[in-house]
Amino acid sequence: MRQHARSPVFDPAEPVCPRCLKPMVLSVCDEVVPVDNRVAVLILQHPQEQDKLLGTGRLTAVHLTNATFKVGLSWASLAKALGRPADPKRWAILHLGSARPKDFPKGRELIVLDKKGNPVADQDVALADIDGVVVFDGTWSQAKTLWWRNPWVLKAKRVALNPRRPSLYGKLRREPRREGLSTLEATALLLSHLERRPEIETQMRATFARMLDRYRQAVAPDAARLQPEARD
């Protein structure tokens, strides 16, 4: 979720990956080993999200066997967005607000919040029956638009992240919040904790690192004139 800054210009004739829509020189889709995730993932991308170079929404969907990727502003229900029956009360949505670090029990990177933004009493019980997670893909303002345009998200559980590690974006993007992560990193962290499979995060972060390495190699000649992206 970011403001768009000046990015390198690629030759329009450069082949584009049909899966992630990135220039082939940046695509890592051919190296992805899909993760067989039990907890479903629904990625909703704002139509104005234009970051085809550093964005990770589509790559996240490529990486998961149980994922749905949609572009739009609103859907009548979770079932309409998914294309199949689903109870939003058994789903979680990545909370847009900032949870206070002191709200997180020691060592916990994921908590469930009530509608007032406070941690629920029994975290383990709240996390035990989640069928899927909804993640918004876009800038902070675009994500907020998606939140308010889809009132069914208010029926879902709200989860907040407290990542131990910063985003792999590093200086490529400036995060307004310490917990700011890419869509891929946030989804990987969610799934690794919900399924108790840390290898999910390890595998997906490795893919993201490869993508960023390709990006840095591709823009090396222009590195001096490129500025880190700023997020809102």
pLDDT of 52-91, one tens digit each?
Answer: 789 999 999 999 999 999 999 999 999 999 999 999 999 9
Better-predicted residue by pLDDT, 1 or 125: 125
Please tell me the predicted confidence (pLDDT) of residue 5: 41
Q: What is the average pLDDT value for the chain, to the nearest integer? A: 86
b/e map 195-218, b = 16+ CB within 10 Å: eebeebbebbbebbeebbebbeeb
List pLDDT tens digits, range 92-102.
998 866 566 66
What's the pLDDT at 95?
A: 80
Confidence category of residue 204, pLDDT binned at 50, 70, 90: very high
- Position 177 scores a pLDDT of 56
Q: What number is the average pLDDT over the span 128-142?
A: 92
Q: What is the DSSP letter of 131?
A: -
Residues in the chain: 232
Residue bearing the bigger pLDDT, 215 or 104 = 215
Residue 178 pLDDT greater than 70, yes or no: no
| pTM listed for this prediction | 0.87
**Could you tell me the two tokens for 161?**
């992240």
Please state, in angstroms and as integers, the Cα–Cα distance from residue 155 to each residue in 67, 71, 128, 218, following that order. Answer: 20, 21, 17, 43
Confidence of residue 226 (pLDDT cuts 50, 70, 90): very low
Q: Read off the pLDDT of residues 149-169 as tens digits, 9 standing for 90 and up.
A: 999 999 999 999 988 888 998
CA distance 18 to 112: 36
Query: Does pLDDT of 225 surpass 60?
Result: no
Gap between the terminal Cα atoms of the chain: 8
227 falls in which pLDDT band (50, 70, 90)?
Answer: very low
